[in-house]
Amino acid sequence: MSHNRFGHLFTITTWGESHGPALGAVVDGAPARLPISEADLQHWLDRRRPGQNRFTTQRQEPDAVKILSGVFEDPDTGAQVTTGTPIQLLIENTDQRSKDYGDIKDKYRPGHADYTYMEKYGVRDYRGGGRQSARETAARVAAGGIARKVLDGVTIRGALVQMGPHKINRDNWDWAEVENNPFWCPDKQAAAQWEDYLDGVRKAGSSCGAVIEIVASGVPVGWGAPVYGKLDADLAGAMMSINAVKGVEIGEGFGAAALTGEANADEMHADGAKASFDSNHAGGILGGISTGQDIVVRFAVKPTSSILTPRKTISRAGEETEIITKGRHDPCVGIRAVPVGEAMMACVLADHKLRHFGQRAGK
Amino acid sequence: MSHNRFGHLFTITTWGESHGPALGAVVDGAPARLPISEADLQHWLDRRRPGQNRFTTQRQEPDAVKILSGVFEDPDTGAQVTTGTPIQLLIENTDQRSKDYGDIKDKYRPGHADYTYMEKYGVRDYRGGGRQSARETAARVAAGGIARKVLDGVTIRGALVQMGPHKINRDNWDWAEVENNPFWCPDKQAAAQWEDYLDGVRKAGSSCGAVIEIVASGVPVGWGAPVYGKLDADLAGAMMSINAVKGVEIGEGFGAAALTGEANADEMHADGAKASFDSNHAGGILGGISTGQDIVVRFAVKPTSSILTPRKTISRAGEETEIITKGRHDPCVGIRAVPVGEAMMACVLADHKLRHFGQRAGK
Amino acid sequence: MSHNRFGHLFTITTWGESHGPALGAVVDGAPARLPISEADLQHWLDRRRPGQNRFTTQRQEPDAVKILSGVFEDPDTGAQVTTGTPIQLLIENTDQRSKDYGDIKDKYRPGHADYTYMEKYGVRDYRGGGRQSARETAARVAAGGIARKVLDGVTIRGALVQMGPHKINRDNWDWAEVENNPFWCPDKQAAAQWEDYLDGVRKAGSSCGAVIEIVASGVPVGWGAPVYGKLDADLAGAMMSINAVKGVEIGEGFGAAALTGEANADEMHADGAKASFDSNHAGGILGGISTGQDIVVRFAVKPTSSILTPRKTISRAGEETEIITKGRHDPCVGIRAVPVGEAMMACVLADHKLRHFGQRAGK
Amino acid sequence: MSHNRFGHLFTITTWGESHGPALGAVVDGAPARLPISEADLQHWLDRRRPGQNRFTTQRQEPDAVKILSGVFEDPDTGAQVTTGTPIQLLIENTDQRSKDYGDIKDKYRPGHADYTYMEKYGVRDYRGGGRQSARETAARVAAGGIARKVLDGVTIRGALVQMGPHKINRDNWDWAEVENNPFWCPDKQAAAQWEDYLDGVRKAGSSCGAVIEIVASGVPVGWGAPVYGKLDADLAGAMMSINAVKGVEIGEGFGAAALTGEANADEMHADGAKASFDSNHAGGILGGISTGQDIVVRFAVKPTSSILTPRKTISRAGEETEIITKGRHDPCVGIRAVPVGEAMMACVLADHKLRHFGQRAGK
């Protein structure tokens, strides 16, 4: 067990604080001879990168990833490939502005982990949230880029399906729209409305939450395992480990509680040697094992805890006080959680793919 | 990694199928000299036991747990205590009626894991669902009884807060009521209404889902860890690993998405050397670490997949057909998930308690 | 992590004390559809069983293993096969004679773990050594029987190569002789001499140590991994975990320290697409990865600590005293360690086989 | 499981190749508020550093370690301390001279892992041995420096006790001598003789093996656990994972096989509430748990495989050929294994210290 490690065969170990010299991830267990370059990973990091528009923090970080180990030229093709040994991904912190954070050195911000870290460890890097900063998710996104290489044939896409109280109209779902607005929103109309809504939130110095949906297509039937190594159990843990996430659901999710057994059953037809399903209430997982349908996960992100309205709190010395969190912050951190959720989906699936072939012993 | 193991320091490894000779759990890592008896564990198993009223399956199993190892007389008190070595819990299967299940040998039941198991393993014990049966949760409940011993000072309680589409009125919440109705319902009025509702579901040969809430009181601030060993991440995985669970949320959960940052912040006051909070939207966890407040988890259980309405499916041979699942089944499996959710909460907390003291190295 | 668990993908979790009602192992991760029966496993247990001749303890245990889970009829062949779910192996303790052990309740036997268990846990099952008893190795041997099924095509054999100070003559090595004497000795002449030697040891109420060699043939090149998951590192841990083992070596072992680099190098020739080696100083492992040659491991077992000569010790109350260990004991426990070493070799290789195919992701 | 990770609660994950841009280790699980600086770790690295005399490789690397994460100023003292989050240690590779290694691109060096890596992965970084290079042990030594901080009160020392066929005279053992010669030899006379011996080996372009002894003093009784989490089992795996190690023994080790039970028993006397022992054949461990005596481990290192005498081998294309390994190499790699063995002892003990307090749950 390692508190900062994720996965069993395809593992990621992340390290680093928001305002230290660098952060990164060690990715271990990837198969050998997967073509991989820094540019491949940078593609995914650029999607997560803040500072791209007025709705995300104005912190300007290039978030340039370097591969320090685990790659070499393929003996046949000469291309840079994985070697089967650990891959160290390093991202330097270049825009730290530590002076912004002096105020929170001694006060605990409500909704942040300041109080719990101090009570647990007796010390914390308070600059920018330190280890609790969402900046840690950059390492996940880089690692997810390697996981996607392991998952050749699987497509993983994410979308924001609710911003604050405003849900998309699922009838309008168009994956192509996701790239056309700053919210990863698949509903063109909702995106337009959210723009006004979020401007209001931002100007009020307030914040709002969101719900993200991640879909993996092309996963064959059979990945996953009973009963604690279930694919959905690992996905739930993976998504809940993302900063600010407060809920996770698979397929029909909480809505399944209100359905009858008849309505919830995904009926099957024959499709060659496999089954085809009439519906996907299960979200692509039965008994912890993939059905061959799309795997569908949603998770809820709470509103950004850093807001301009003063909130009552206590200091490290135990005195009652108030705090306003200035600085550069996203009014809706859920937006940037979309690429992170995709990365965690990729990491879980890559791990389960290897575990599946492990238990089959090559058959 | 072991597919059938849960936990890091306090670990449970369950084994067994619904209709084999027995099932059970190996509990490893419990501290030594905890007083423990079969009667202590039986108490929790009796709460989960089916056949107690017309709303749960009529399968009559005593579910008597035996402790085969890991206990001995305390050298000072003579009482039976844990010895620090693995504790094998064994529950014999005594009421198996295998003849009931002949029909499902070759047909895949929608909503069950029949198809996925066969595609993954090429073989399955189809009798009563085999390893995918909810009977596996008896082993969890027994193991949870040991976890509660580890958690001296922590109280863990569960309740059904929604049956089918019908939610409780939280203003009526009374923990004492939970023991007064067959649904673990904390709202006396809701319980009365649910009785009629569920009678209708049962008579129609249908089924319904449910939402369960588990609350742990008395957990001190500081348990848990960043960033993949988060308390909430482990709770999410634990609850999602329970049969038929499709969603998990902590504290405000999915509702947090619709709140503003101001509304969601749990403001703090000084309470001696600790903080007291004005609210608990966080569900007792910040940054993956317990705050000292109640830890609040909810999870959604889908409607029982075994119903009397014929559903379209395929056979192992790939032929299209229909299936009705007769036999003894709960119209709402969510009811029996309450003690299971309590047990998983106990196992997660016991594990994190040990991990916490491990990282502190005795300080 | 679990103190009583071994392996990563093919895992064994053993439980049980010498004089409790039963002991056993949960074997998790085995591939599905391996033909397996209780008789298959009993074959290996019978080899380990004490009471077969005057050189091993007269405790008469049938050591009958029961399979409680994880097997079912194959849908095509009808044969009993593994299902891919956990396999519980249970061995009842039938000949416990607890009265023999009353004397050691309060005194710590030198060379045994009595003192360390009490200091660590504050309680111990003193009957027959409790959890520290070599009886735990019966569970390993049963689990090893399943591992051998995973290792189709690999042959694992063990031999005693030294008893007390008396080594075999390796020029006399004949695997067929191993089954012809009570010592698993591959050297017919040495076996004859050991018989007299061990009679003397036994009559003197003394004991002696031994060195065991385990050889695995048929392991293909490529199993294992850098740098902490090395095949030899896992073998070293596995063998050292057997009761009373004090040393482990691979191939040339400690002898390699005295060789020159020229003498120690295993030169290679072409053998089709693979290498053939002129020698095997490496013991079949280079860089933690199998070479395709025989894997050769030796381990040293200390003399049985239970002897009839009084030894100075202390009581639980901290008083100085003496102790003689009567009861039924092997003058040379190393003999019974041969099947145990074979089982651990099998478990390590089965685990690494699965890990190898896991990292290859089906290629 | 992670192939490149070691430990359970105190974990090290190393990464990096000999001739990549850098290598390092992520150390996770260390308690918070341990004072730590780069200079603290550099002290241990400097002891391992090659190029210090004519007996170790002339590669000139400063091996300067940087701490990239997991440390911060203590809120009370202002000193730099651990924060309880992962510590990334990075060592840049500055003297790589890749041109030296072109010859081994296509030929497999006997005794090295060239052949096994290529057969397993199909690609390898052949420059300087890549991941199989002993340079990886620099990361272990740095991590060991942190482990020593966890082990306040424990002293860990190592010595070379045999070079080639030449053993020390244990009667001459003087720990102070270890720092006075280039071999970490505790026997002044032996050190003088080894100097001549090793000069001869070096001039002949040959190499020799060695035996190293590591001793930990001050470990209290009670660390470790049955039966697969034994302290000695973990030490055996740890030492065997070091490059070129072929054997490990605890206390009396292989010599125990030749002793009688009477001679091998470590008799006990009362020493307040604890035991004092008359001898330490056990090497400080009984039943996998520390006795409070010195923990004594020895391991054998094979002769350096890189020698100037041509050896028969095959090429990647499967053609038979010969190879001489020029370049900068140690005639006795065992010398540099001394600080590495110390580091692994420290890592195992730190991990077990945390595990011990974990299972005690703070008591």
The minimum CA-CA distance between B346 and chain D, rounded to whole Å, is 15
Q: What is the pLDDT of residue A169?
A: 98
Q: Which residues of C touch B139 (CB under 8 A)?
A: none
Mean pLDDT in residue range D209-229? 97
Question: Exposure of D203 by Cβ count < 10 A (0-12 exposed, 13-18 middle, 19+ buried)?
Answer: exposed
Higher pLDDT, D94 or A208: A208
Name the residue among C222, C247, C252 with its Cβ closest to that of D254. Answer: C247
Interface predicted TM-score (ipTM): 0.96
Q: Which of B120, B269, B292 sits opposite A222 (nearest CB)?
A: B120
Comparing alpha-carbon positions, the chain D residue that sits nearest to A126 is D72
Task: Name the residue in chain A with its Cα closest to that of D76.
Answer: A123
Q: Is C266 left (phi over 0), alpha (psi -120 to 50) or beta?
A: beta
Cβ contact, residue pair D261, C208, below 8 Å: yes
Cβ neighbours for B53, distance < 8 A, ≥ 6 positions apart: B182
Closest chain D residue to B363, measured at CA: D362
Query: Two tokens at B42?
Result: 């039986």
**Alpha-carbon distance values, D239 to A207, C300, D13, D136, D290 (Å):** 54, 17, 16, 14, 18
CA dihedral of residues D71, D72, D74, D75 (deg, nearest 10): -140
Q: D319 and C226: CB-CB below 8 Å?
A: no
pLDDT at C347: 98
What residues does D223 pair with on adjacent strands?
Answer: none
**SS3 of B148, please?**
helix
Q: Cβ D120–C237 below 8 Å, yes or no?
A: no
What is the arrangement of strands in the sheet containing A5-6, beginning at the earlier edge strand?
A5-6, A11-16, A22-28, A87-92, A65-67
Provide the CA A304 distance to its chain's centre, in angstroms: 16
C-alpha D4/C-alpha D11 separation (Å) is 10
Please tell me whether residue D38 adopts helix, strand or coil conformation. helix
Extended strands (E) in chain A: 5-6, 11-16, 22-28, 65-67, 71-73, 80-82, 87-92, 155-163, 166-167, 210-217, 245-250, 268-271, 274-277, 285-286, 289-290, 295-301, 311-314, 320-323
CA torsion through residues B216, B220, B225, B227, sign: positive
Chain C residues in contact with B26 (beta carbon < 8 A): 4, 13, 15, 26
Tell me if B1 and A14 make a contact (CB, 8 A cut-off): no
Question: What pLDDT is stored for residue B330 in this prediction?
Answer: 84
Backbone φ and ψ of A306, nearest 5°: -85, 110
How close is the nearest chain A Cα to the Cα of C108, in Å? 34
Could C359 and A1 be called an inter-chain contact, meaning their C-beta atoms sit closer than 8 Å? Answer: no
The dihedral over CA atoms of C249, C250, C251, C252, expressed in degrees to the nearest 10, equals: -40
Please give the residue of chain D at the shortest CA–CA distance from C353: D120
pLDDT recorded at residue A128: 87
Closest B-chain CA to C84: B121
Token pair for C361 = 């992701």
DSSP string, D109-144: PTTSSHHHHHHHHS----GGGGGGSGGGHHHHHHHH
Q: Which residue has the tokens 């001489």?
A: D324
| Cβ neighbours of C297 in D, within 8 Å | none
Apex CA B34: angle with CA B32 and CA B40, to 5°?
Answer: 140
Work out the pLDDT band at D363, boundaries 50, 70, 90. Answer: confident
Question: Can you list the positions of beta strands (E) in D17-116?
Answer: 22-28, 65-67, 71-73, 80-82, 87-92
**Lowest-pLDDT choice from A26-40, C37-51, C221-235:** C37-51
Sheet holding C65-67, edge to edge: C5-6, C11-16, C22-28, C87-92, C65-67
Residues of D in contact with A9 (CB under 8 A): 1
C1 pLDDT above the threshold of 60 = no
- Is-contact D212 D338, C-beta < 8 A? yes
Q: What are residue D249's DSSP bridge partners?
A: C247, D298
Q: Which residue of C has its CA nearest to B7?
A: C1
**Distance, in angstroms, between B198 CA and closest chain A CA?**
11
C-alpha–C-alpha distance, residues B334 and C296, integer Å: 54
DSSP-derived 3-state class of residue C6: strand
Q: How is residue D352 written in tokens? A: 């077990």
pLDDT of residue B128: 87
Per the CB < 8 Å rule, is D275 touching C301? no
pLDDT > 70? residue D61? no
Mean pLDDT within D166-183: 97
Tell me the mean pLDDT in the region C89-106: 77
Share of chain D above pLDDT 90, in %: 86
Give the count of beta carbons closer than 10 Å to the beta carbon of residue B255: 17
DSSP-assigned letters across all residues of B203-224: HTT--B-EEEEEEEE-PPTT-B
The CA distance from D338 to the nearest CA of chain A, in Å, is 25
Could you tell me which residues of chain D have a Cβ less than 8 Å from any Cβ in chain B?
1, 8-9, 29, 31-32, 84-85, 150, 226, 353-363
User: Is the omega angle on the peptide bond into residue A227 within 30 degrees of 0, that is, cis?
Assistant: yes
A interface mutation test: which of D13, D71, D98, D133 has the most A CBs within 10 A? D13
Which of B30, C163, B66 is CA-nearest to residue D258? C163
CA dihedral D286, D230, C132, B30 (to 10 degrees): 120
CA distance D75 to C72: 61
Give the model's pLDDT for residue A62.
Answer: 79
B312–chain D nearest CA distance, Å? 42
Q: What is the pLDDT at residue B233?
A: 98
Q: Name the residue in chain B with its Cα closest to that of A287.
A: B113
Task: Pick B123's closest partner by Cβ from C13, C23, C32.
Answer: C32
- How many Cβ contacts (< 8 angstroms) between chains A and C? 55
Which residues on chain B place their C-beta less than 8 Å from a C-beta of chain D?
Answer: 1, 8-9, 29-32, 84-85, 150, 226, 353-363
3-class DSSP assignment, residue A231: helix
- CB count, 10 Å around CB of B170? 10
C-beta atoms of D15 and A131 within 8 A: no
User: Strand C80-82 relative to strand C210-217: parallel, antiparallel, unpaired?
Assistant: unpaired
| Closest CA–CA distance from residue B140 to any residue of chain C (Å) | 15
Q: Which chains touch C (3 or more CB pairs under 8 A)?
A: A, B, D
The overall average pLDDT reported for chain A is: 93
What pLDDT shows up at residue A301?
98
D123 upstream amide cis, omega within 30 of 0: no
Nearest to D17 among A26, A33, A69 (CB): A69
Name residue C210's beta-bridge partners. Answer: C163, C301
- Provide mean pLDDT across the span C197-201: 96
CB contact under 8 A, B1 and C13: no
Q: What is the pLDDT of residues A96-107, one digit of tens each?
A: 555 656 678 889
> Per-residue confidence at D202, pLDDT binned at 50, 70, 90?
very high
Query: What pLDDT is recorded for position C60?
Result: 62
- List C-alpha distances in Å: B61 to B47, B136, B333, B348, D73: 13, 13, 16, 27, 60
Q: In this model, does residue C98 exceed pLDDT 60?
A: no
pLDDT at C116: 97
Q: For the residues D318-339, what does the mean pLDDT come to? A: 88
Q: Do C69 and B3 touch (CB under 8 A)?
A: no
CB C67 within 8 A of CB C36: yes
Taking chain B (363 residues) in runs of 10, the rounded mean pLDDT of each run is: 89 96 98 98 87 62 91 96 98 72 85 96 93 95 98 98 98 96 97 96 95 98 95 98 98 98 96 94 98 98 92 94 80 96 98 96 77
The Cα A16–Cα A7 span in angstroms is 19
Q: Flag if D68 and A15 touch (Cβ within 8 Å).
A: yes
Q: Do B270 and A314 touch (CB under 8 A)?
A: yes
Distance CA D346, CA D150 (A): 9
Cα–Cα distance list, C65 to B34, C56, C97, C140, C141 (Å): 30, 20, 20, 12, 10
Mean pLDDT, residues D268-281: 95
Nearest beta carbon to residue C69 from set B16, B73, B75: B16
Instruction: Judge: B282–A9 Cβ closer than 8 Å, yes or no.
Output: no
What confidence score (pLDDT) does residue B204 get?
94
Average pLDDT over residues A258-277: 95
- Segment C112-167, tens digit of pLDDT: 999 999 999 999 999 988 999 999 999 999 999 999 999 999 999 999 999 999 99
Distances from the Cα of D74 to the Cα of A22, D70, D82, angstroms? 20, 12, 9
Residues D209 and C264 sit within 8 Å (Cβ to Cβ): yes
Identify from B254, B335, B360, B363 which residue to disrupt to test chain A contact, counting A C-beta atoms within 10 A and taking the largest count.
Answer: B254
Q: Say how many residues make up chain A.
A: 363
Query: What is the model's pLDDT at position D102?
Result: 66
Which residues of chain C are at the A interface, by a Cβ-Cβ cutoff of 8 Å?
1, 8-9, 29, 31-32, 84-85, 150, 226, 353-363
Per-residue pLDDT tens for C46-89?
A: 987 765 666 666 556 678 999 999 999 999 999 999 999 999 99
| Average pLDDT score over residue span A144-157 | 98
Does residue A51 register a pLDDT over 60?
A: no
Distances (CA, A) of A257 to A251, A266, B311, D261: 12, 15, 20, 67
Enumerate residues 6+ apart whose C-beta is below 8 A from A330.
A50, A55, A56, A57, A207, A304, A336
Contact D31 B355 (CB under 8 A): no
CB contact under 8 A, A123 and D85: no
The DSSP letter of residue D18 is T
Distance CA A338, CA A347 (A): 14
pLDDT of residue C328: 59
